[in-house]
Structure 1
Amino acid sequence: MPGMDDGHKTLVALLDVAHEAPDLALLGHWRNLVTHTASVFEREDLWMNATRFSSTHIHTTQHKVVLQVMHEGLSPGESGDLAPVRQMANELGQWFANHSQSMDAALALHLRKTGYDPATGVLSMPDDISLQACPQA
């Protein structure tokens, strides 16, 4: 899925920048990563809801938990303790690799199967008759 792939590539690039950031720049890069990640997750959540994806609940729950933890990392970082932020960056990379290869891959397959166009919200090949009445995204 091009829209999904682009968001993921940017997320990985921002994560790499955070990994390499010197201490003085780390929090700024972490904030950029949090903002971008929130937008990627929001877009995926919209797609799941618009197409009635069967694994929406568990997928969106993971998004919410990861974003909450990412936000919580800002507090110690703002107090000068950057170790938790760096640890989160390491763990986020591992989590994201697993998440994208499992949950996001399943979502992409579902979106292709239904012919979902993220730009218009149109389902060109609904695999379930109930999807034909889906609200546009």
Structure 2
Amino acid sequence: MKRMEWNDTLELGLAPMDATHREFVECYNALAEAPEADFIDCLDAFIAHTVEHFEQENRWMAAVNFPGCHKAEHDRVLTVLRDVRRLAAAGDMALGRRLVEELPPWFENHASGMDAALAFHLETIGFDTGSGDIAHPEKLSGVSCSTAEGSACG
């Protein structure tokens, strides 16, 4: 399986996000290289990392009322990961390996689109990812997006 390589296009300039994305690439590579006997354990580790990764970004978005459907995409990806994990554990390893093939293009698109927009916004408002302080609250958006079923994000 092809490894995912860290490159400049994945570097967004927000240190905590970049560190988490580097970890995502490392976890992905462990999963991609896992022999069949270790695949489910590696998938479990990848899912655990991804849950923490997405929760971190979701906390930042909630703290600044970030508009858009970013969280909804996180929720959909976690649903797919968990569904594929269940099916792979039941013997459908081909589906598990197919998931691994699809993750790099998804991640590159997500990072360069949704995550880049979030990183830019957090930097624009001077958001401190450690403390949650906002240096420029006057630049906060008053727009919010509900992710309830039937909404534009759903």
TM-score (norm 1): 0.89
Aligned residue in 2 for 1:26? 39
1:123 is paired with a residue of what secondary structure?
coil
Q: Does residue 71 of structure 1 match 2:82?
A: yes
Shift of 1:118: 1.0
User: What is the count of residue pairs matched by the alignment?
Assistant: 129
Aligned residue in 1 for 2:135? 124
Q: Which has the higher helix share?
A: 1
Q: Does residue 38 of structure 1 match 2:85?
A: no
RMSD: 1.4
Q: Identity of counterpart residues, as a percentage?
A: 34
Aligned residue in 2 for 1:80? 91
Q: Could you list the runs of 5+ residues in structure 1 that have no partner in the other structure?
A: 132-137
How far apart are the structure 1 equivalents of 2:128 and 2:22? 20
Q: Which runs of structure 1 show a deviation greater than 4 angstroms over 4 or more consecutive aligned residues?
A: none
Shift of 1:113: 0.5
**1:87-106 CA-partner distances (Å, limit 9, x unpaired):** 11111111011000010000
Shift of 1:126: 2.3
How far apart are the structure 2 equivalents of 1:93 and 1:29? 16
How far apart are the structure 1 equivalents of 2:79 and 2:139? 34
Q: Could you list the runs of 5+ residues in structure 2 that have no partner in the other structure?
A: 1-13, 143-154
Shift of 1:54: 2.0
Aligned residue in 2 for 1:95? 106
